Amino acid sequence: MPPILVIAVLLAAAVGGGVFVLWKARSWLRQPPTDHGDWERTLVDWRNLRDEGVLTEEEYRKVRTLAEPRTRVGTPDPGTRKRPATGPSGPDHERT
């Protein structure tokens, strides 16, 4: 096989591979995000840290504000759900 033909085939393969990579990247970027459950679970984890006293209410609000654009529209905020009353081992009053 002549060297010019080998170079042409390799060049065509490189261009085809580049087009394929661009096509996959473009389709990946157009997909809607599907990590809503992950963010909701993360917010629940942050809320639990707040309830345990590891985070202050202000720190929790900051985390929740940063995560809000990533959560689904129409889902209730995990911080607004009613929590059960704390027992004798917890604080005297329930945080809201």
- Angle among Cα 79, 37, 86 to the nearest 5 degrees reads 30
Q: Is residue 41 part of a domain?
A: yes
Q: Which of 5, 2, 95 is nearest to 50 (CA)?
A: 95
pLDDT of residue 20: 92
Note the pLDDT tens digit of each residue in 65-78.
Answer: 887 765 545 555 55
* 30 part of a folded domain: no
Which residue from 71, 66, 63 is spatially nearest to 46, judged by alpha carbons? 63
The pLDDT score that the predictor gives to residue 29 is: 82
Put simply, whether the predicted model's pTM sits higher than 0.95 gets the answer: no
| 71 domain residue, yes or no | yes
48 lies in some domain: yes
Specify the number of domains making up the chain: 1
Query: Which pLDDT score is estimated for 21?
Result: 93
In a domain, 66, yes or no: yes
Expressed as residue numbers, the domain containing 50 is 36-77
pLDDT by residue, tens only, the chain of 96 residues: 789 999 999 999 999 999 999 999 988 888 776 655 677 788 888 889 899 988 889 988 888 888 776 554 555 555 555 555 555 555 555 555
Whether residue 69 is contained in a domain is answered as yes
Within a domain: residue 22?
no
Residue 21 maps to a domain: no
